[in-house]
Amino acid sequence: MRRARGSGARQRTGPAAYLRLRETGERHRARIDWWGNVTFAVGLGAILVGITEGIQPYHGHSMGWANPTVIGLLAGGLILLIAFGIIESRIAEPMFQLSLFRIRAFTAGSIAGLVVAIARGGQQFMLIIWLQGIWLPLHGYSFSDTPLWAGIFLLPLTAGFLISGPTSGILSDRFGSRGIATAGMTVFGGSFIGLMLLPANFPYWAFALLIAVNGIGSGMFAAPNSSSIMGSVPARHRGAASGMRSTFQNSGTALSIGVFFSLMIAGLAESLPKTLTGGLEQHGVPPAVAHQIGSLPPVSSLFAAVLGVNPVQHLLASRHVLATLPAASQQVLTGRAFFPELISAPFRQGLVVVFAVAAGLAAVAAFASLLRGGRYVPPESGPRQAAEAPAQGTTTSS
């Protein structure tokens, strides 16, 4: 009976205790950092727009990095970001707490997070183009169905992340973040080396295994790195630290698309025009039309593949050439194998460059994770830690 009454008491006091809970977090009134917000938003926006315009063709060039508008956007955005840093270092209530960069764990984690975001964001686009533009059509899938099936065949990447993410978070709480995050970046970089060795028309089991390993490495890094960043800062600055971490991650993803597409387009621009022109001429396309199509910027072929369109069929039909060709040539040119087989060799060269850069970025992130030090205890972690820790916090082995 006593046990029953005790249990009942606990059940009755549950809702009452919930209603009596009060927020104990500290709140501090602060002014909006208008100058910081404006200079950062406009500066970063100008750089991102400049990078987006940079991958567009310009005056006969495959990319637009010589475009004065692109140069002006990048230069202006960089100047505004420098001004933002000066402003943030001189005002009392900044949007970015630059003083947090004095904490080694925060700085190392932020650098690693930014680099990983750059390596991971563009990588997904390259895998999608690889599947939609080459592998799926060669295995009997129509171009219109490739967007759906590309997502399905990339599920091992997501599964790897979902499996390792929660597990690495639990292990980092017990053993520390440095070793797990560094190991995750080592696995992440190793998967890119494996992808570099695959042929354009790969066996799917090898591709699925490598992208699953890629997801596992990314998941091993994500939770420990976030935990290290947030655990290294004083409690009153955790909101600012979280915002800075998210900004680095989102900015890195946006930058990644421009960087990876630039590398891929540069690789394709060397061999794709000649390959495409020669392939079209072999199947009866007039040389002038074949040369015109082959001279188009490679970015058009890449985005056509992503949108689920047969680029060759679309280009020939728009020039009213397709109907004038023999039936056998029409069947070959509009088939599922012509464009993938034509683009596979140039695309493979671009992939090697892209994945090599991604592997190098993973190595940088692993090195930054290794330098984060042991478990950092900020001065405001608790009454006992605050009393024992010096002004700059303490570091314990992890």
Per-residue model confidence (pLDDT) at position 336: 84
Does the pLDDT at position 389 exceed 70? Answer: no
Band (pLDDT 50/70/90 cuts) for residue 190 is: very high
pLDDT in tens, 26-54: 666 667 888 888 999 999 899 989 988 88
pLDDT in tens, 207-221: 999 999 999 999 999
Does the pLDDT at position 8 exceed 60? Answer: no
Does the pLDDT at position 102 exceed 80? Answer: yes
Percent of the chain with pLDDT over 90: 30
- Report the DSSP pairing between strands 394-396 and 375-377: antiparallel
Q: What average pLDDT does this structure show over 254-263?
A: 84
pLDDT in tens, 113-157: 999 999 887 788 889 889 998 899 999 898 888 889 999 999 999
